[in-house]
Amino acid sequence: MASFNNFSVVKRWNRPSVLMKTLLETFFTNNGTYFKPYSVSTVYILPDTSLTNGSPDIYINRQVSDMGTPAYGLLNASSLSSVQATFGGDISLIDLNPSAYQGAGTYSASGIYSGSTSADPGHFQVVLDGSRSFLEFSAVGKYFDVWLVKDFEDAFDASSGWQLYWNKFEVFSDRIVTFTEPYQVTTKNKLSQKYLQLSSIPTLRITTDVFLANRNMSRDLKDIWREQVIDNAEIRIMRRNPRTSGLITKIVPGPGPTQGDWSRETNVSSENTITFTWDTTQLEAGDYFVQCKYTLLEQTFVSEEFSLVLR
């Protein structure tokens, strides 16, 4: 399970439920770089029902009389009655630091949060909790999260330039899985990169495959269980010295919080891929190895050492 300011949350692709905090993230890019829009004003949660059938078109204002005005293409008046939750809408609840989030039922629960570090300016987040913060959000099913955004400052008309960005997520009632014997879990990791150019600043990617060896568990139950997310992912990078028979002589520290040789400045995607941004601009060419560590159930898994060459 992921965390947000030390609160346990579930990301949109990992089977969230109404009774748990759901982290909804969106990333903005402009011409291949992360990009912070001029204003992210409001986030709406709208149901994706049999009437919408996966398309948000019935919620969008397509009135011919509004063509050429700022209202065209935004939410129509009738769709506002269908909104299940609203974030932002108030200057004090927009662009908050994640450290301001204090859980459901607090002033900051309906805030829009801007990233977690200066390295991800286009990263925005909201935390949806139907159990306490947004009581209208109370049913399993499919939903849209709709972001009202002005990409660039408009010096000519302050009311123009707003547009909607639509995402999807689904909440479930089967997050809790029971079985008649302990889970026999194994994992396998793989580093995507093998060679890197010196002085680059790449994002290392370590994929994780989760396997359950329980013979009596059905395939559909195994598929649900595999959507669980690994916790407490850490990474370390060390260098082998070829002049001393390959002994490790140098530890490469990473940014952010660390514990011994291990850096916690990692991210974990919905498919359990561990990512880490590695700055090689001050390093030397040579043979390095990368290793990750994480927890799943009561187990701590440490991967094998993956060779990585800076050249």
- Encode pLDDT of 58-114 as tens digits: 999 998 888 878 888 999 989 989 999 999 989 999 999 998 999 877 878 899 999
Average confidence (pLDDT) over 248-272: 72
User: What percent of the chain has pLDDT above 90?
Assistant: 42
Q: Do residues 164 and 60 make contact, with C-beta atoms less than 8 angstroms apart? A: yes
Q: Which residue bears the tokens 């607090």? A: 106
At residue 159, the pLDDT reads 52
**Up-side HSE of residue 162: CA atoms within 13 Å toward CB?**
19
Q: Rounded distance, CA 106 to CA 13, Å?
A: 25
Q: Rounded distance, CA 114 to CA 26, Å?
A: 10
Q: Rounded distance, CA 248 to CA 241, Å?
A: 6
Q: Examine the pLDDT at 253 and tell me if it is beyond 70.
A: no
* Type and span of the H or E element at 229: none
Q: Rounded distance, CA 292 to CA 226, Å?
A: 19
At residue 248, the pLDDT reads 67
Length of the chain equals 311
Q: Do residues 75 and 146 make contact, with C-beta atoms less than 8 angstroms apart? A: yes
Amino acid, res. 218: S
Q: Rounded distance, CA 241 to CA 200, Å?
A: 21
- Encode pLDDT of 121-152 as tens digits: 889 999 999 887 888 888 999 999 999 999 88
Q: Do residues 105 and 133 make contact, with C-beta atoms less than 8 angstroms apart? A: yes
* Type and span of the H or E element at 230: none
Distance of CA 247 to the CA centre of its chain: 37
Q: Do residues 234 and 274 make contact, with C-beta atoms less than 8 angstroms apart? A: no
Q: Which domains does the chain have, with CATH numbers?
A: 2-171 (no CATH), 185-310 (2.60.40.10)
DSSP one-letter string for 55-81: --GGGB---GGGTTSTTTTSB-GGGGG
Cross-strand partners of 150? 39, 162
At residue 82, the pLDDT reads 94
Q: How far apart are the first and last CA of the chain?
A: 37
| Nearest-5° Cα angle at 270, 267 to 272 | 65
